[in-house]
Amino acid sequence: MQRLVALMAALALSLGLLGACATSAPGAGISGTGTVVSIQEKMQGSQAGSVAGAIGGALIGAALGSQIGGGSGSTIAATVGGVGGSMLGSSAGAKAGEKMVWQVTVRFDDGIDRTVTVAERPTYRPGDKVRVEQGIITRR
Protein backbone atom coordinates (compact mmCIF):
# COMPACT_ATOMS: atom_id res chain seq x y z
CA MET A 1 0.00 0.00 0.00
CA GLN A 2 2.82 2.35 0.90
CA ARG A 3 4.50 1.69 -2.42
CA LEU A 4 1.29 2.47 -4.28
CA VAL A 5 1.01 5.80 -2.47
CA ALA A 6 4.62 6.62 -3.38
CA LEU A 7 4.00 5.64 -6.99
CA MET A 8 0.91 7.84 -7.21
CA ALA A 9 2.75 10.77 -5.60
CA ALA A 10 5.61 10.47 -8.08
CA LEU A 11 3.21 10.27 -11.01
CA ALA A 12 1.22 13.30 -9.80
CA LEU A 13 4.42 15.33 -9.35
CA SER A 14 5.65 14.33 -12.82
CA LEU A 15 2.40 15.33 -14.49
CA GLY A 16 2.43 18.63 -12.61
CA LEU A 17 5.91 19.39 -13.88
CA LEU A 18 4.85 18.55 -17.45
CA GLY A 19 1.77 20.76 -17.19
CA ALA A 20 3.98 23.70 -16.35
CA CYS A 21 5.81 23.18 -19.66
CA ALA A 22 2.69 23.27 -21.87
CA THR A 23 2.57 26.00 -24.49
CA SER A 24 0.12 27.21 -27.11
CA ALA A 25 0.52 26.36 -30.79
CA PRO A 26 3.41 28.24 -32.43
CA GLY A 27 2.21 31.21 -34.47
CA ALA A 28 -1.31 31.11 -33.04
CA GLY A 29 -2.77 34.59 -33.02
CA ILE A 30 -0.16 36.08 -35.39
CA SER A 31 -1.73 37.78 -38.42
CA GLY A 32 -0.73 40.56 -40.82
CA THR A 33 1.46 41.34 -43.81
CA GLY A 34 5.21 41.81 -44.07
CA THR A 35 8.50 40.67 -45.55
CA VAL A 36 10.37 37.43 -44.80
CA VAL A 37 13.64 38.27 -43.03
CA SER A 38 15.04 34.77 -42.41
CA ILE A 39 14.19 31.06 -42.41
CA GLN A 40 15.87 28.61 -40.01
CA GLU A 41 15.54 24.80 -39.94
CA LYS A 42 15.12 23.27 -36.52
CA MET A 43 14.39 19.85 -35.03
CA GLN A 44 11.36 20.00 -32.73
CA GLY A 45 10.63 17.36 -30.09
CA SER A 46 7.28 15.61 -29.83
CA GLN A 47 5.08 16.89 -27.02
CA ALA A 48 2.96 13.70 -27.08
CA GLY A 49 6.10 11.55 -26.95
CA SER A 50 7.37 13.64 -24.05
CA VAL A 51 4.17 13.07 -22.04
CA ALA A 52 4.07 9.34 -22.78
CA GLY A 53 7.75 8.98 -21.90
CA ALA A 54 7.29 10.90 -18.67
CA ILE A 55 4.40 8.74 -17.52
CA GLY A 56 6.19 5.50 -18.41
CA GLY A 57 9.42 6.72 -16.85
CA ALA A 58 7.64 7.74 -13.65
CA LEU A 59 6.00 4.34 -13.30
CA ILE A 60 9.21 2.40 -13.94
CA GLY A 61 11.34 4.70 -11.75
CA ALA A 62 8.89 4.52 -8.86
CA ALA A 63 8.63 0.75 -9.13
CA LEU A 64 12.41 0.37 -9.11
CA GLY A 65 12.87 2.91 -6.33
CA SER A 66 10.32 1.16 -4.14
CA GLN A 67 12.57 -1.91 -4.08
CA ILE A 68 15.16 0.03 -2.08
CA GLY A 69 15.00 -0.05 1.72
CA GLY A 70 11.87 -0.40 3.77
CA GLY A 71 9.21 1.78 5.39
CA SER A 72 9.59 5.51 4.81
CA GLY A 73 12.96 4.97 3.10
CA SER A 74 11.23 2.89 0.45
CA THR A 75 8.60 5.61 -0.02
CA ILE A 76 11.27 8.29 -0.46
CA ALA A 77 13.24 6.11 -2.89
CA ALA A 78 10.07 5.40 -4.91
CA THR A 79 9.27 9.12 -5.11
CA VAL A 80 12.81 10.05 -6.16
CA GLY A 81 12.86 7.17 -8.66
CA GLY A 82 9.52 8.29 -10.09
CA VAL A 83 10.63 11.90 -10.56
CA GLY A 84 13.98 10.87 -12.07
CA GLY A 85 12.33 8.31 -14.33
CA SER A 86 9.79 10.90 -15.44
CA MET A 87 12.50 13.36 -16.43
CA LEU A 88 14.50 10.74 -18.35
CA GLY A 89 11.39 9.32 -20.02
CA SER A 90 10.17 12.76 -21.05
CA SER A 91 13.48 13.59 -22.71
CA ALA A 92 13.68 10.23 -24.49
CA GLY A 93 10.07 10.44 -25.67
CA ALA A 94 10.50 13.95 -27.07
CA LYS A 95 13.69 12.94 -28.88
CA ALA A 96 12.07 9.83 -30.39
CA GLY A 97 9.28 11.88 -31.97
CA GLU A 98 11.41 14.72 -33.36
CA LYS A 99 10.45 16.34 -36.64
CA MET A 100 11.85 19.10 -38.83
CA VAL A 101 10.20 22.53 -38.58
CA TRP A 102 11.08 25.93 -40.02
CA GLN A 103 11.22 29.14 -37.99
CA VAL A 104 10.29 32.01 -40.30
CA THR A 105 11.05 35.54 -39.12
CA VAL A 106 8.77 38.11 -40.74
CA ARG A 107 9.19 41.88 -40.44
CA PHE A 108 5.57 43.02 -40.33
CA ASP A 109 4.39 46.28 -41.87
CA ASP A 110 4.27 47.78 -38.35
CA GLY A 111 8.08 47.31 -38.15
CA ILE A 112 8.04 44.48 -35.61
CA ASP A 113 9.83 41.19 -36.32
CA ARG A 114 7.89 38.08 -35.31
CA THR A 115 8.90 34.43 -35.68
CA VAL A 116 6.37 31.87 -36.89
CA THR A 117 7.09 28.13 -36.75
CA VAL A 118 5.78 26.15 -39.74
CA ALA A 119 5.74 22.38 -40.28
CA GLU A 120 6.08 22.35 -44.08
CA ARG A 121 9.14 23.45 -46.08
CA PRO A 122 8.55 27.09 -47.08
CA THR A 123 8.08 27.94 -50.77
CA TYR A 124 8.92 31.60 -50.06
CA ARG A 125 12.39 33.06 -49.48
CA PRO A 126 13.89 35.96 -47.52
CA GLY A 127 12.81 39.19 -49.18
CA ASP A 128 9.42 37.84 -50.31
CA LYS A 129 6.26 39.73 -49.33
CA VAL A 130 3.92 37.48 -47.33
CA ARG A 131 0.60 37.39 -45.52
CA VAL A 132 0.32 35.64 -42.16
CA GLU A 133 -3.10 34.42 -40.97
CA GLN A 134 -3.20 32.61 -37.62
CA GLY A 135 0.35 31.31 -38.14
CA ILE A 136 -0.14 30.25 -41.79
CA ILE A 137 2.21 32.04 -44.18
CA THR A 138 1.38 32.62 -47.87
CA ARG A 139 3.17 34.67 -50.53
CA ARG A 140 1.26 37.80 -51.58
- How far is residue 128's CA from residue 34's CA, in Å, rounded to a whole number? 9
Mean per-residue pLDDT of the chain:
78
- 135: exposed, middle or buried (C-beta count within 10 Å: 0-12, 13-18, 19+)? middle
pTM above 0.75, yes or no: no
7: pLDDT strictly greater than 60: no
Percent of the chain topping pLDDT 90: 38
26-82 pLDDT, tens digit per residue, is 566 889 999 999 999 999 876 665 566 567 767 786 777 677 867 777 777 777 777
